[in-house]
Structure 1
Amino acid sequence: MKPIVYTKIPRIDRDLIARAARQTVADLHEGLGAVAGRQCLLGPKMRPVWNGAKVCGQAVTCFNYPGDNLMLHAALRLAEPGDVVVATNGGEVQGALWGDMATLFAQLKGLGGAVIDGSARDSASVAEMGFPVFASVISVSHPEKRGPGSANVPVVVCGITVHPGDLIVGDADGVLAIPPELVETAVAGAEARSAKEEAMRARLKEGATMFDLLNLQPLFEAAGIVEVEGAWNDPR
C-alpha cells in the first residue's frame, strides 16, 4: 500500500456513543459475547498512562514508520471533537509517538483521548492535564518526522485490527475497539448485564451466595466434581 491519508471516518450516532460511555469496558466486553468480545479486546500491554483515565470515542487511526511520528500529526489534524487518536508504529519502543505537546493540542481541540501502540512520554505532565491517554510503552525515545505512513486506514493495535470509525472504549481494565455495526449490541448487552448485576448486589447484601445466584450446582455435577466433607489430608 502506498502512503495515504483518508480525511473522513464513518460516523456513529452520538446518543449511542453517550450510552456506551456510561458503561464499563468489562460490561461492554461481555455484552459483545464470547467471540466478538475477544475479537475487540486489545492486548493487556495497552494500559492507561494515569490512574482513572477513561476514554470513549471514534477512532482516527494512523500507522507510523518505526522511530517516526509524522503520521500522528496527520491524525491530530483530521480528528474532530470527541474522536480518539489511535496511533501505532507496530508497538516499537523507538520514537515516542505521543507526549505533552500532543496532549495539549488534542485537549484544546476537544478530542476524546489517545490510544498509542508504541511509546508515550511526559507521563507525569499528561496525568496533570487529565487527558485520557493509553499506551503500550512509556519511553522518551526521540522520534523523527520523515514518514512514510498512512492515516485513517485499518491498523493492528496490540493484536487487534482497528478500523477508522471503530468505537474506542478504555478504562482501568483495558481497551475495546468496537466496529460500528456491533456498538448497539455491545451497549444493549452491557446495559442488561449492569442491571442484572445491580440486582445481584442487592441479593448478596441480603445474604445470598454467589454459588446459588449463579446456579453453579448443575455445572459442578456436569463436570463430575466430587465434594468430600473434610480436609484433603484427613485419615481415610
Structure 2
Amino acid sequence: MQSVVYTRIPRLDPALIARASRINVADLHEGLGPVVGRQCLMQPQMRALFPAARICGQAITSFNFPGDNLMLHAAFRVAAPGDILVLTNGGSPQGALWGEIASYYSRIRQLGGAVIDGAMRDTLQITEMAFPVFASCVSVSYPGKRGPGAVNVPVVVSGVTVNPGDLIVGDADGVMAIPPAQVEAAVRDAEARVAKEAEIKRRLDEGQTLYDVAGMKSLFEAAGIVEIDAVWSDRT
C-alpha cells in the first residue's frame, strides 16, 4: 500500500464555525433532524477524556495501521490552528495513537483538539493541561512508526464516515461529524432550538408546569394515557 497525504481540505467560513462552537452537541444533533443527526453521531464509546472538554473545528483525518501512529505525524504537518485531528486505526487497542507529547505539541500549534478511534494514553497529564481529547479506549500499548496509512482521506470513526473538512463538534455528551453542506442548516436550527428552550425556562421560572409548557396534554391523549384518581392496590 502506498501511503498518501493530501495537504488541503475544503474550508468553512470561520464565522460559521464560531457560531457552531457556542452550541451543545445535543442541540446540533437535533438540529440536523432524525436521519442526518443519527448518521453524524459517533457511537457512545467515543468519550471525552474530561467532562469540560469541548471541540469544534474542521477534520484533518488520519488512517493508521493497527499498532502504528506514523500518520499522526503526517497529519501534524498539514493541520492548521483550530483544526481537529481525527485519527483511527479501526478502533484497535494496539499501539496508542495519542499521548502527552502529541497533546503538548497540539497546544503549541493551537489545534482545536483530537478524536481518537483507538487507544490513547497519558490521561492524567493531558487532563492537567486541559487539551480536549476524545477517544474510544485507553491503553499504554506502545505504537510503532512504520505505516502504511493516509491523511485527509475518508475514514470510518466510531461508526461514522468522516470526510476531510467535516465539522467535528464534541462535548461531554458525545461527538459528531457534520458534512460541510449540512453545517449552516444544523447551526440555524440548533440556534432556534436554544432560543425555544430559553423561552421554556422563562415560563417555568414564572411557575408554569412542564406538562403545560411542553404541550403534554395532546401527546398524552394521542398515546391513550388514562389517569385514575386512586391507589393502584385499591382496584385489586
Please indicate the TM-score interval, normalised by the length of the shorter structure.
over 0.9
Residue 143 of structure 1 is matched in structure 2 by: 143
* Pairing of 1:22-41 with structure 2 (within 5 A): 22-41=22-41
- Opposite residue 93 of structure 2, the aligned amino acid is V
Q: CA RMSD in A?
A: 1.1
CA distance in 2, matches of 1:235, 1:25: 46
- Report whether the alignment pairs 1:216 with 2:220: no
Equivalent residues in 2 for 1:129-168, closer than 5 Å: 129-168=129-168
Displacement of 1:232: 2.1
Does the CA-based 8 Å contact 1:85-1:115 persist in structure 2? yes
SS at match of 1:8: coil
Shift of 1:231: 2.3
Residue type of the alignment partner of 1:6: Y
Shift of 1:71: 0.9
1:2, CA displacement in angstroms?
4.5
CA offsets per residue over residues 96-145 of structure 1, 9 Å max, x none? 00001111111111100000001110011101111111111111111001
* Structure 1 SS opposite 2:115: strand
> Is 2:64 the partner of 1:88?
no
Helix, strand or coil at the partner of 1:105:
helix
Distance 1:136 1:6 in 2: 25
Q: What is the number of residues matched between the two proteins?
A: 236
Cα deviation digits, residues 42-85 of structure 1 (max 9, x gap): 11101111220111100000111111111111111111000000
Residues 60-209 of structure 1 correspond to what in structure 2 (within 5 A)? 60-209=60-209
- CA distance in 2 between counterparts of 1:153 and 1:164 reads 6
d(CA) in 2 for partners of 1:231 and 1:44? 40
- Deviation larger for 21-30 or 223-232: 223-232
Q: Distance in 2 between matches of 1:46 and 1:72?
A: 19
Looking at structure 2, the residues matched to 42 and 148 of structure 1 have their Cα atoms a distance apart, in angstroms, of: 25
Q: TM-score normalised to the size of structure 2?
A: 0.97
Counterpart residue identity of residue 155, structure 1: V
CA distance in 2, matches of 1:229, 1:132: 51
SS at match of 2:234: coil
Whole-angstrom CA distance in 1 between matches of 2:117 and 2:57: 17
Amino acid corresponding to residue 19 of structure 1 in structure 2: R
Unpaired stretches in structure 1, ≥5 consecutive residues: none
Measure the CA separation in 2 of the matches of 1:189 and 1:134. 26
CA distance in 1, matches of 2:82, 2:198: 30
Deviation string 1:190-225 (CA, Å, 9 cap, x unpaired) is: 111111101110101111112111212212222222
